[in-house]
């Protein structure tokens, strides 16, 4: 008898329950409890980093276990690309999602390839930057992707990135519909760094078949609402939400409200109150 938990449709059903919601990066159990109380849909443990403000760092396995015990929310466990043992440990802890992303550990994945996610019962999330990454994530069995960028203006660069992805899908579909030579489609796939046939299958759908979340320094209800209006299915908020303001609960609640009501500016405006950002002195 086959294991239904290995079925991609079962994994997708769970992933789709997160759409229209907010996932919060957390560094300790109290952060996870605050996120749960504030309306977050899930939490993602990350490591401390005193040297640089990057949220793409692998937490200790023990922290993942602590967070799983602390809250009833779904927990995402970050792992290094291709690190099968980290994935098995995360699954053993009972996490809801495994986040395998090529920018963890500050991008020092060493050229490792994404693992075959179909062999795990736990659904996988993949960090992506472009259409080629999305195709490769689908091929490997991802049930959700989070789009991140290297730009400083996260909202602008994420919005531009998803617009570029949609335009590329439209242009490639036109090429397929116009029966352009296979060599032309092959060249387009090569430029994107993905196989041709899965790319063609994707563009024929006209829509990415799994949820796509915006990930990064989003920070305010207005920013979250703006990204939802660009076509994202949800947002992943970085850990600074707990350190850069005087009321994390109010801010997280506001962001959750902004995501759920992005078509209602008056509701987003009302949610943009009750917290104040803390100004930090720049290092000399």
Q: What is the largest CA-CA distance in the chain?
A: 64
CB 95 within 8 A of CB 106: no
Beta-ladder partners of 146: 127, 213
283 catalytically annotated: no
- Residues sharing a CB contact under 8 Å with residue 92, sequence separation 6 or more, in sequence order: none
* Closest of 97, 147, 92, 93 to residue 117, by C-alpha: 97
Helix, strand, or coil (residue 44): strand
DSSP code per residue over 170-189: HHHHHHHHTT--HHHHHHHH
Backbone torsion region of residue 83, taken as left when φ is above 0, otherwise alpha when ψ lies between -120 and 50, otherwise beta = beta
CB 97 within 8 A of CB 122: yes
Catalytic entry in 11, 33, 78, 273: 78
- Residues sharing a CB contact under 8 Å with residue 227, sequence separation 6 or more, in sequence order: 155, 158, 159, 214, 218, 235
227 CB-contact burial (10 Å; exposed 0-12 / middle 13-18 / buried 19+): buried
In the block, tokens 């500016």 appear at 265
- C-alpha 86/C-alpha 98 separation (Å) is 9
Report the chain's C-alpha Rg in angstroms.
19
- C-alpha 216/C-alpha 231 separation (Å) is 16
Tokens for 232, please give them: 């994202």
Enzyme catalytic residues: 78
């Amino acid at each position: 008898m086959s294991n239904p938990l290995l079925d991609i449709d079962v994994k997708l059903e769970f992933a789709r329950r997160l759409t229209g919601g907010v996932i919060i990066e957390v560094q300790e159990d109290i952060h996870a409890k605050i996120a749960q109380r504030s309306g977050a849909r899930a939490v993602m443990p990350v490591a401390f980093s005193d040297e640089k403000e990057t949220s793409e760092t692998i937490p200790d396995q023990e922290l993942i276990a602590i967070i799983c015990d602390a809250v009833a929310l779904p927990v995402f466990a970050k792992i290094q690309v291709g690190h099968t043992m980290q994935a098995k440990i995360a699954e053993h802890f009972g996490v809801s999602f495994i986040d395998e992303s090529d920018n963890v550990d500050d991008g020092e994945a060493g050229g490792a390839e994404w693992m075959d996610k179909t062999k795990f019962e736990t659904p996988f999330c993949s960090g992506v930057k472009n259409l080629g990454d999305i195709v490769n994530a689908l091929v490997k069995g991802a049930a959700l992707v989070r789009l991140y960028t290297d730009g400083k203006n996260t909202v602008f660069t994420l919005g531009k990135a998803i617009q570029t992805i949609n335009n590329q899908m439209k242009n490639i579909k036109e090429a397929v519909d116009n029966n352009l030579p296979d060599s032309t489609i092959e060249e387009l796939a090569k430029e994107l760094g993905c196989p041709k046939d899965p790319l063609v299958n994707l563009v024929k759908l006209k829509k990415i078949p799994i949820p796509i979340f915006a990930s990064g320094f989003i920070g305010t209800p207005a920013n979250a609402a703006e990204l939802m209006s660009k076509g994202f299915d949800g947002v992943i908020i970085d850990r600074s939400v707990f350190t850069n303001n005087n009321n994390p609960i109010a801010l997280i609640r506001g962001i959750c409200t902004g995501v759920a009501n992005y078509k209602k500016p008056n509701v987003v405006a009302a949610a943009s109150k009750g917290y104040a950002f803390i100004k930090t002195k720049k290092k000399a």
